Each structure stands twice: as structure tokens, then as C-alpha cells.
Copies of this chain bind each other. A is one copy, B any other.
Amino acid sequence: MFESARLPQKMDKKTFKKLEPEIRESLLAPQLEIVENKKFSTVILVDGLDGAGKGEAVARLYGWMDARHLSCNAYGEPMEEARLRPPLWRYWRDLPARGETAIVFGSWYQKPLRDRVYNKLSDEEFSKELERIRNFEDMLANEDVLVLKFWFLLPKEDQERRLEKIKKKNAARHVLSDWAALKNHSSASEVGEKIILETSTGNAPWFVIPSQDAEYRDSALAQTLARSMKLKLADGEPRTVSAPPVIGGVKRKTAIDAIDLSAKLDRDDYEKKREKYQNTLSDISDTKAFSKRGMILVFQGNDAAGKGGSIRRVIRPLDPRIYKVHPISAPTDEENAHPYLWRFWRRVPRRGHIAIFDRSWYERVLVERVEGFASHEDWLRAYNEINDFENELADFGYIICKFWLAISEEEQLKRFKAREDTIYKQHKITDEDWRNRLKWDQYAIAAGDMVDRTSTHYAPWTLVSSENKRHARVEVLKTICKRLEEEL
């Protein structure tokens, strides 16, 4: 999850300096309008692991906004007054009145987060806590509170470096008390992901802020906040859950942008590896262990990235009685008369079988989003619905692999032209393909959001460069074999 926030996203100081007045204005204008019309209050949760610079970021926010209508509360261990009352009491006490904005450090997520990391809560108890929080936040949203939640994300190495630096300075002692958290970094990250996954709702969305670069981090925080306030002021407008595509003039990088397209494989190497993995696949799919599970494969990617070719290499070693390929195109009338996921539930394989989807339920957050076939609200809620769907499948035992096959814009052009020139390939290229190509950037953002929101531990995305088809095919086979070996 949140692959894109782990990419190095930077903004140089000069750009930042030049943009600062604009950022300031974009925050102040909606803030003052809210102060004036008192339609709602704003609560900003600042969470994430230590050392990501939450304090610095909020200090800058204070400089940009009108501090008279801004308050900031940091909650650590509760004081006596609060200890004598239910845990939520102190947060209620400090809720801002309509027109005001409050920043919350150490929110209601901190206790469940820590208790889960230190195993004081079972997974079920933890889910129950998250459910209570969701109800609480829904209630706030229904009572005219704009709840925005920011998760500051820092890869492990950066966190270590940052904390080391703070330690040397011997400043900010309150950070050091959390030193222990580092030991549990991976466990804490996992719990954090679950928090974001399960409590990112239309009413109270999480925004993941990449925090390696201070200028980028603070611009992302400010511009996301500014946009959310503006959207809420415009009312009715459904709220979004991803950061703006451009942060302080810099195009936001998505997980897709980070795929290394230079990977290559020569023919000999390819033949050897392909054969090896196909043999493994053939063997594993024939085991008793596999017959008790089953597999679901999803292929998405740029047009002409070679989904069909990869699928053909996967099915070659398989017994035709146990797999089925489902090419997904426009829904039938009957399918259209049912809930969206109905047509995929129809294709759920029997235990021990394999269903291969050439395009899939992800079309809802790709083509349907970009082309406006699904309403804003519909594709927004689809992320959670898809995660729930795949969770049902994984719980039953299916092994799920999802592939995004990526090519560059130039490579796509080359392949489109080649298709037009080759008679037996002409059916593979349509006007629609050319039209979609014009929206390359929009599709890239949609694909990036998709990977950020739906790459789960039970159904991870694998991003594969398909610039070289041989490389892609072997990567796909290798990933499937690896997952099967892990799971069986």
C-alpha cells in the first residue's frame, strides 16, 4: 500500500520559496471564509511514525494560516483529569467550534496503534477499535466537522537517519522517548497500513504524505488541506481521497512512474527461465495442496503492453480443465442490471481452479473513472469494495496475483503503428485505443491511485515493465511461482 508515497518526491528550495505566497493564499482564503460563515469546523489529524517531521510541517502551517482561528493539541499519556474519564473525553473537550480549525497530534489512533504493535490487542480487538473510531468520525462528519487525516510516511532508513540526527542534537527530547518504536518499524508500518485501509472513508479520508523532503512534504500537506477546505465549502461536491496531481508546481509521482522500463532479457536467457518457471507452475498446479486452494490472476496495464502474450505463457503448462481465461469487455445487459461486482462473482472459480482475468473489476477505477462512466462517488467507494471482495476470495483460500504491465508512451506508439501495419494484428487496434492514448496522464494517475489503495498483503500488485516483452513474461511467471511456493 501507498507505494507512491515511498518514492523519493522532492522539491528544491528555490521552487518552494517562489511558491510559498501562492500556498499561503490558497490556505488563507478558504480558512477565512470558514471563519466568516461558520458552516463547519475542521479537525486535522497528524499521524504516522516518529521522525517524519510532523512538528516542522505543522509549524509551517501555522505560519501560513490565521493563527487566531487555529489551535493545536498534542495528546500524550493522559493527565489526571482525563484519566478519570473515558478515553475519548479529552478529544471531545477540545473539539473546535464551527469556524475554527484544530490540529491534533497523538490522535485517537495512537492508543490502538501502540496496543496492536505491542500485541496488547488481538487482530479482532484491533478491528473492533477501528470500527468504533469509524463510527465516531462518521458522527463528527454528520455534525459539520471536516475531518482530515494525514499520515506522514518515511521509509525505514530515512527514519533511522532522522532520529539519529535528532539524538545527536539532543533536542526534542519527547521524540527520543519514542525511540523504542523504531525497533518495531515494520510491525508499526503494517499496523499503520491497516489503519489507513480500514478507516479511510469518504467522511474522514486519510492522505499519505511522503516526508523525505521537507519542502515537498509541507507543500503536499498545505495543498491537500487547501483543496479539501475548498471542496467542503463548495458543498455537495464529493470529497476525494488522493492528493492533488500537482504539488507546488511539481507533478506528483505515482507508483507507476517508478517502474524501471530499461529491464531487458535476451532470447536464450528468456527461453531457459520461461521453461524453468513453466515447469514449476505445471508441477505446483498439480499438487494436492493446490487443489485445496486455487488461484486468481488479474492482468491490467497500458494498451498494447502485452497482456495477452503474458497470459498465453502462463496457461501453456496448465491442465485446461482447471483454468479459464476471462477477457473482460463491456458488461452485458443482464450484468448491467446487477450490482457492479456481480459479473465477477459469476466468474469466481471452484476451489482448486484458476481464473485468469484479462482486464477485471479494476476497470471501474481506471477507464470508468477517467472516461466518467462511473460517478465520482462510485469509483471512490470502489477501492474499499474491491479490497473487501478480494479479502473474501483470499479468506476462502485463493492465491491472488495482480499484474500491472507498463510500457512507455513511445513504445506504445511504436506498437500501435506496428499493429496497423500488420494485417492479422489490425483487429487489435481501434479508434478507442488512440483516444485513450490522448489521456495518458490521467490514466497514469488513476493507475497510481489504484496501486496505492488496493495493494494489500492478501492481494498484492506486481508492477512489471513490459517495454521488453520477454522480461515481462518471465517476471509474471516468476512472481506466480514465488507466491505459490510461499503460500503452499
| A interface residues (Cβ-Cβ under 8 A, vs B) | 38, 41, 81, 84-89, 92-93, 95, 97-99, 122, 124-125, 127-128, 131-132, 135-136, 139-140, 142-145, 334, 337-342, 345-346, 348-352, 378, 381, 384-385, 388, 392-393, 395-396
What are 29 residue pairs bridging A and B, where the CB atoms are less than 8 Å apart in the complex? A38-B337, A81-B350, A84-B350, A84-B351, A84-B352, A85-B349, A85-B351, A85-B396, A86-B395, A87-B392, A88-B392, A89-B345, A89-B348, A92-B341, A92-B345, A93-B345, A95-B342, A97-B337, A97-B338, A98-B338, A124-B125, A127-B127, A127-B128, A132-B388, A136-B388, A139-B388, A142-B378, A142-B381, A145-B339
What is the CA–CA distance of A92 and B128 in the complex, to the nearest angstrom? 26
Contact assessment for A85 and B142 in the assembled complex, using a CB-CB cutoff below 8 Å? no
CB A72 to nearest CB in B, in angstroms, measures 18
What is the CA–CA distance of A142 and B375 in the complex, to the nearest angstrom? 12
User: Given A95-B339, A97-B337, A127 and B135 touching (CB < 8 A)?
Assistant: no
CB A45 to nearest CB in B, in angstroms, measures 16
* Other A-B pairs, 6, CB within 8 Å; known A88-B392, A127-B131, A131-B131: A92-B345, A127-B128, A139-B339, A139-B385, A139-B388, A143-B339
A396: chain B residues at CB < 8 Å are 85-87
What is the CA–CA distance of A139 and B337 in the complex, to the nearest angstrom? 15
Contact assessment for A86 and B348 in the assembled complex, using a CB-CB cutoff below 8 Å? yes
What is the CA–CA distance of A86 and B349 in the complex, to the nearest angstrom? 10
A342: chain B residues at CB < 8 Å are 92, 95
The chain B residue sitting closest to A127, CB to CB, is B128
A85: chain B residues at CB < 8 Å are 348-351, 396
CB A340 to nearest CB in B, in angstroms, measures 6
What is the CA–CA distance of A136 and B388 in the complex, to the nearest angstrom? 8
What is the CA–CA distance of A95 and B339 in the complex, to the nearest angstrom? 9
User: Given A131-B127, A351-B84, A393-B86, A93 and B144 touching (CB < 8 A)?
Assistant: no
CB A135 to nearest CB in B, in angstroms, measures 5
CB A369 to nearest CB in B, in angstroms, measures 16
A135: chain B residues at CB < 8 Å are 384-385, 388
What is the CA–CA distance of A41 and B342 in the complex, to the nearest angstrom? 13
The chain B residue sitting closest to A100, CB to CB, is B337
The chain B residue sitting closest to A343, CB to CB, is B92
A378: chain B residues at CB < 8 Å are 142
User: Can you list the 4 inter-chain pairs with the closest CB atoms, starting with the nearest?
Assistant: A143-B339, A124-B124, A97-B337, A92-B345
Contact assessment for A346 and B93 in the assembled complex, using a CB-CB cutoff below 8 Å? yes
The chain B residue sitting closest to A346, CB to CB, is B93
A145: chain B residues at CB < 8 Å are 339
What is the CA–CA distance of A351 and B89 in the complex, to the nearest angstrom? 12
What is the CA–CA distance of A340 and B122 in the complex, to the nearest angstrom? 33
- Chain B CB count within 10 A is highest, among A86, A98, A145, A337, for A86
